[in-house]
Structure 1
Amino acid sequence: MSISTTGLHHVTAIGGNPQRNADFYLRTLGLRLVKTTVNFDDPGTYHLYYGDAEGRPGTLMTFFPWDGVPDGRRGTGQATTTAFSVPANSIGWWQQHLEAAGVRTSRITNSDEEDALSFQDPDGLGLALVAHPQGDPRDPWDTPLVPGEHAIRGLHSVTMTVAKEDATAATLVDDLGLRFVHQDGNRLRFAAGDGGPGALVDVQVSPDAPRGLVAGGTVHHIAWRVPDDATQLAWREELVGKGYDVTSILDRQYFHSIYFREPGGVLQEIATDAPGFGVDEPLLELGRALKLPPWLEPKREEIQEGLPELDLPDENNPEVAEILAERR
């Protein structure tokens, strides 16, 4: 493989009620809503992006949330757990914080000696918080509800569940440029670049598990980082040459994307780092207004009328968050 990813760009999932989704990820998990927009392929649905202060690649969890979405089923051919990175001394704090919010947790230590909490969001999406022994240098989003010393640093890893190991492993290594790290029972760990939080994927091999159904409470796709358009184009040509069915390059306004399925069925995206979330609004105002791409702007009134209202907490405004943090 001549081109390799440096790590995860984002994970996109399907949620239920948009307000409930925002309340959980902003208030309970303490992330920042860095972009309020719509699903460009289905403008009647929000697309909400959560991340750090600037929405840097590797910190992003995004959702297509809408009321009445049927429940999905976790199984093979899916990313079944999305893990966030937290400081090594914060797992106890998070356990108390989540349980106080009515979220049931399970505490585990994995084979890499990472202390972790597993839990689900209000729609049943599988999540985890992981404390990497070597720490995570990324700056957190600091809010009064989740102070900076305990706050999420970004994505840690994603777990993909597949029925068979070989073809998926080959795709990760030969076509995405990851390296095999180790195997623990039916779980294989792969790393991009130097490894560490934000550059890890675990493959859980479950031949007897049911086939997953992508709907409410499940991951739609995982995205890997690529630095620029030229590298993405070269990568697309290489993947097509190997026989993958790859989409054309799609303009997602804040990055450019291509998509393909690995042999185990998990939808993969390769997304550019640029142009980023400041392309259509100032850093201080990220996420506070509905943003539409130029080709949907003429339908703004119609789109807004079809979307439910979304009440964002004051903590999503950096100026207010700073004042509230000083009052702690």
Structure 2
Amino acid sequence: MTYIAGHHHTSMITKDANKNNHFYKNILGLRRVKMTVNQDDPSMYHLFFGDEIGSPGTELTFFEIPMAGRTHKGTNSITRIGLLVPSYESLLFWSERFKQLKVKHGEITEYTQRPSLSFEDPDGLQLVLIVSEQSLSFWRGWSQSLIPKEHQIMGMGPVEMTVRRPEKLQDTLVNMFGYSISYREEKLTVYQSLAGEPFGEIVVIEKDGPDERPGRGSVHHLAIRVKDEEELKYWESKVREKGFLTNGIIDRYYFKSLYFRESNGILFEIATDGPGFTIDTDLVHLGETLDLPPFLEERREEIEKMLKPIEENE
């Protein structure tokens, strides 16, 4: 049976790779599992943070655009990224850590009917820690994280989308991808790719008004997860049958994927689980040096000259 196995990764825009690297490695305690470049524009970094091996479902990725202006918030955009932690005690740990490190954050409250703690990264990206007491089978804790394992971020949870026409997005999620409705409030609906599992949730909020104008701290796209290329080809046919435009399957070396925009303009990527980040680097040294896919390797010297070195200070 072919189905969407949850989130694969999200990709965001950062203005400063050094500040971004410090925040996600040294404050959130995630592992930088891949330091590479945007394959479509190798003049910019593409950084991947996740669990020990960058398992699908744990990856937060960032394109560095030094000239990025501020985000003009609006509708038809991905507006918040949920991150799962093991317990309510973890929220207390993180609240205290954020206070000590002067991270902008809110009070412990509820989001998607679960205990939660909202915060922002240095670019203003909206994030929220959410308690998921059930263990995630795909998550591999990182022993060298600065965060105790009992409080480590386990992966992505609910991803929030704000749209003008929620019925169009519902048609895509339910009728094309097979998501189910978990619950509904006024102008808010929660969809799950796998019933009862928070790691594949999409929160859809109805909001009229102008479209968001992206900048630093905005979300470029959500990638959802499939097993292999055979399944990806199945979804390519479904996307085309639905009338969405796509450039077809692209080999990103670490995974294969395809992109399309649904009717509100939200950019989705469908990505395969493998081959993964250890295809060109051993587990011990993941993310330590600049990795390039084979088709860019011959341009390494040119590419390295375009990139500002990332400092590894804690």
TM-score normalised by structure 1 residue count = 0.91
On the 8 A contact 1:3/1:177 being kept in 2, the answer is no
Q: Does 1:163 align with 2:164?
A: yes
* Distance apart, 1:111 and its partner CA: 6.3
Q: Which residue identity does 1:120 align to in structure 2?
A: E
1:59 aligns with: 58
* Distance apart, 1:313 and its partner CA: 5.1
On the 8 A contact 1:3/1:176 being kept in 2, the answer is no
1:139 aligns with: 140
**Aligned partners of 1:154 and 1:144: how far apart in 2?**
14
Q: Deviation per CA, 1:236-276, whole angstroms, max 9, x where unpaired? A: 01210221112211111100010011112110000000100
**Aligned partners of 1:135 and 1:104: how far apart in 2?**
28
Q: Does 1:25 align with 2:42?
A: no
Structure 2: 5+ residue runs without aligned partners? none
On the 8 A contact 2:30/2:145 being kept in 1, the answer is no
How many matched pairs?
312
Q: Which residue identity does 2:170 align to in structure 1?
A: A
Q: Please list, as runs of the form range in 1=range in 2, the aligned pairs for 1:107-146 lying within 5 A after superposition.
A: 107-110=107-110, 112-134=112-134, 136=136, 138-143=139-144, 145-146=146-147
Q: Given the superposition, is the C-alpha separation of residues 20 and 307 from structure 1 closer, same or farther in structure 2, using an over 3 Å criterion?
A: same
Q: Please list, as runs of the form range in 1=range in 2, the aligned pairs for 1:165-184 lying within 5 A after superposition.
A: 165-184=166-185
On the 8 A contact 1:182/1:188 being kept in 2, the answer is yes
Which stretch shows the higher mean deviation, 21-30 or 75-84?
A: 75-84
2:42 aligns with: 43
1:259 aligns with: 259
Q: Does 1:79 align with 2:78?
A: yes
1:151 aligns with: 152
Q: Please list, as runs of the form range in 1=range in 2, the aligned pairs for 1:1-328 lying within 5 A after superposition.
A: 3-88=2-87, 89-110=89-110, 112-134=112-134, 136=136, 138-143=139-144, 145-208=146-209, 210-312=210-312
* Distance apart, 1:40 and its partner CA: 0.4
Q: Quick one: percent identity of the two aligned structures?
A: 38
The CA RMSD over aligned residues, in Å, is 1.6
Q: Which residue identity does 1:139 align to in structure 2?
A: R
**Aligned partners of 1:129 and 1:99: how far apart in 2?**
15
Q: Deviation per CA, 1:15-68, whole angstroms, max 9, x where unpaired? A: 011100000000111100000000001100000000000000000000001323
* Distance apart, 1:135 and its partner CA: 5.3
**Aligned partners of 1:248 and 1:37: how far apart in 2?**
23
**Aligned partners of 2:107 and 2:246: how far apart in 1?**
39
TM-score normalised by structure 2 residue count = 0.95
